[in-house]
Amino acid sequence: MEEIDEVDRRILEILQHDGRITNADLADRIGLTPAPTLARVKKLEAAGYIKRFAAILDQARLGLPVTVFVSIILESHRLKNTREFQKAMLAVPEVLECHHIAGDEDFLLKVVANSPADFEQFVLGKLARMGGIEKVKSIFVLSSSKQETAIPVREAAEE
The correct answer on CATH 3.90.25.10 for the domain covering 66-140 is no
Q: Each residue of 1-39: pLDDT tens digit?
A: 478 999 999 999 999 999 999 999 999 999 999 999 999
Q: What is the CA radius of gyration of the chain?
A: 20
pTM of the predicted structure, to 2 decimals? 0.86
- CATH level 3 topology of 6-55: Arc Repressor Mutant, subunit A (1.10.10)
- The ranges assigned to domains in the chain are 6-55, 66-140
Q: Each residue of 113-143: pLDDT tens digit?
A: 999 999 999 999 999 999 899 999 999 999 9
Residues 74 and 84: beta-carbon distance below 8 Å: no
Where does the chain have alpha helices with state H?
A: 6-17, 23-30, 34-46, 79-90, 116-122, 128-130, 153-158
